[in-house]
A and B are shown apart, each in its own frame.
Chain A
Amino acid sequence: MEDREIVALYWAREERAIAETERRYGAVLRHLAENLLGRREDAEECVSDAYHAAWRSIPPEEPQSLRAYLGRIVRNLAVSRWRAEHAQKRFGGMETLLSELSDCVPARDNVEAELETKELTALIARWLRGLDAESRALFLRRYWYGETVQALAKECGVSPSQMAQRMLRLRRKLRAALEAEGVTV
């Protein structure tokens, strides 16, 4: 079933929407949640909560891409869980991801303006669109889908350390791009 048909089920308030969503995107979402949270049980719970959130938000929302829409919900739920339980040091995937993303934070010396998240999103989107397709896909598969460096290395046929280096270069490039904009958040 295509996205628009599943979204139509949500709009018609047919509970089958959840089952169809699970059929089409269940594995993808669980993979994403597990990447971020590390434990299968937490991931299952997170995906269940994402379905619940989708049921409440569609309508009025009418997403074009259910994968991206639901993935966004999962990412938000995951970071909320991480914030709530950070002190217990659970969710190693999120810890690692955030630790890596700290490489993208501009140095304070270059700060001129405070950015809203929306503007920061627009800047990152623009930076991504300026990359070659493979680098763009790699960045997103790591930092949007939370895929491990090892998995990406395997997919590209390189060693994990080479992939880690490539990711480091991408993060530094993003930081440089943000610094070039003279902004911070």
Chain B
Amino acid sequence: MNSEQIYEAITNLPEELPEEAAAHTFIKRKRSYWRWGAVAAAVALIPLAAAAILFSGGMGGMSSDGSGAEMAQDSEAMEDNSYGFSISYMDYAGPVFPLATLGGAEDLTADRIVTFDFSPYETRQETYETSSESYSYDRYDTEVKVTDAYVLANPTEEHVTVTAVYPFAAAFSDPLDLLPVITVDGTAVETALYAGPQGGEAPESWETYRAWLSDGSYREAALASATALDVPVTVYEFSALTAPESDAPNPTLSVRMTLDYDRTTVLSLGFDGGSWDRENGAMVRECSVPQEEEAGYGTSRYLIVLGEDVTDMTLRGCRSGGSWEEGSEELPGVTAGVRRYTSTLQTALEDLVGELYDGKMLWRSGGEVHLLAEIPRETCLDALTEALLSYGILSDDPAERSRCEILEDVISQVWSEKRVLYLTFPVTVPAGSSVTVTAELIKDASTDYTGGGAAREGYDLVTRLGSDLTFASQTARLAGAEYVEILRQNFGFDPERGVTEVTLDAAAEHYFIEVRKREG
């Protein structure tokens, strides 16, 4: 028997098993972030500002069946955030947040007009092509266009200059086109981008964001730098990997070492396989040796050792993976240069993030350009630091610390975690005058299932969460309503009767709309 036969057998499982698995809802375990602060102290680091934040969970609960249009306009219910039904999603895109400033906006007033444009729901024809045939099919998008405009008025006799902050919910791995474009009086402005810490669980409702942002500490953490990880490490760099010409299916470099699992933790980068033998104090890490035209060619691989150094390191080439297992075939001539040096975890991570900036990890997401391309190097490093402290090798869970951490896994997790990012930019409002700040963004739908056939697609906004602006008015507009059927909302839109613009209640924190594609 081999793994391909197991794969084939799994492929042919009765249909109801994969169906059931697709429909299964996992009960999410909440991660404690108090732990993070405790561990930071334990390793004699200055606690991160964000560590003081107590993160709390979303509201949970079951989703709507989306069976009919409902309105939830009771103001008391909205103040209590109790609509009589829950607004949570398995895949929550996050709300549209209001503009804020870093202070000094006391004399300004703001009129906000936010437009949700559903025209991407319009059906268009696209074509699939295979080598021999082509199919045309109907396609539409559920990413709506949002224009979030603010008229900032300055009634005083002095110019007012502020640093404006525009928050948006995203993951580093989201498409780059989710990055808002900011204009001031119609002219695009340069912005700086900051990322907040991940709050411990994937948000499922706007209440998670409310818990994160309500006291201001989340944004402070986003704008501050994480503390350096001055943990001493020994780094092994494996460079210039080569394999001889051969018919080997998968020339592999294998590194075997001896260690005490209670005293040593190994963080790897660039190794895609291996084995762990805690009982006998052995560890194997191995990687394919790429040929010249393949991804990863010419890149180094790393082992970062925390604690006691490893011993008896032995390199070996083999024809395929599983190099130290019985029956594996050795491949003489596989070589690599090995460099050993001591450093700190901080420096080692900086080097590796530098490598990521050379584009070596971007291919893992299919070559698509992601927000990551715009994330500053320090921000990436801070996020990795946070992950290693909270649920990685520096966490207080021995089961997690004692195993070999695969840095790609941590990075992948960090990249895919939803968080709040901030664009900052200067704005000057002349005395007795006003300027218009506009954020144009693409907002993905919140859904209960990321596949096709979602029963509802949700979009929402918050009116004042995290904002210090004094709002004279807030207005919401609906465009492209002909392409969607409104299932539930609390805006008060009624496009059938021509009501596509509504004034928002200043007392209401949150507005939402759920739609589905209009058939026909």
Contact = CB atoms under 8 A, between A and B. Distances in A.
Interface of A: 15, 18-19, 22-28, 31, 34, 38-41, 43-45, 48-49, 51-52, 63-65, 67-69, 71-72, 75-76, 79, 83, 86-89, 92, 95-102, 104-106, 115, 117-118, 120-121, 123-125, 128, 133-134, 136-141, 143-145, 148-151, 153-162, 164-165, 178, 184-185
B128 A48 contact: yes
A141 B10 CA distance: 11
A129 to B, nearest CB: 8
A67 B19 CA distance: 7
Interface of B: 1-22, 24, 26-31, 90, 128-130, 133, 135-139, 201-202, 249-250, 272-273, 288, 290-291, 294, 321-322, 364, 366-368, 391-392, 395, 397, 399-400, 403, 405, 409-410, 412-413, 416-417, 450-453
B481 to A, nearest CB: 21
Nearest to B449: A28
- Give the interface centre of A136, A149, A157 by most chain B CB atoms within 10 Å: A157
A117 B392 CA distance: 40
Given A137-B24, A157-B31, A69 B15 contact: yes
A19 to B, nearest CB: 4
Contact of B129 (A18, A48, A137, A184): A48
Contact of B26 (A23, A34, A40, A134): A134
A167 B272 CA distance: 17
Consensus secondary structure, chain A interface: helix
Contact of B413 (A143, A150, A178): A150
23 contacts: A22-B137, A68-B19, A75-B7, A86-B249, A86-B250, A89-B290, A98-B7, A99-B3, A104-B3, A104-B6, A106-B1, A120-B1, A121-B10, A125-B13, A140-B20, A141-B21, A150-B409, A150-B413, A154-B202, A154-B416, A161-B403, A178-B1, A185-B2
B10 A156 contact: no
Contacts of A99: 3, 273, 321
A139 B11 CA distance: 13
Contact of A140 (B1, B17, B202): B17
A145 B21 contact: yes
Contact of A101 (B3, B20, B201, B451): B3
B135 A51 contact: yes
A149 to B, nearest CB: 7
Nearest to A79: B7
Nearest to B201: A157
Nearest to A72: B11
A125 B3 contact: no
B15 A65 contact: yes
A145 B18 contact: yes
Contacts of B417: 154
A87 to B, nearest CB: 5
B130 A52 contact: yes
Contacts of A105: 1-3, 6
B325 to A, nearest CB: 10
B234 to A, nearest CB: 21
Contact of B24 (A134, A161, A184): A134
Contacts of A41: 366-367
A102 B366 CA distance: 26
Nearest to B91: A155
Contacts of A89: 250, 288, 290, 294
B261 to A, nearest CB: 14
A118 B136 CA distance: 37
A73 to B, nearest CB: 9
Contacts of A134: 24, 26-27
A150 B416 contact: yes
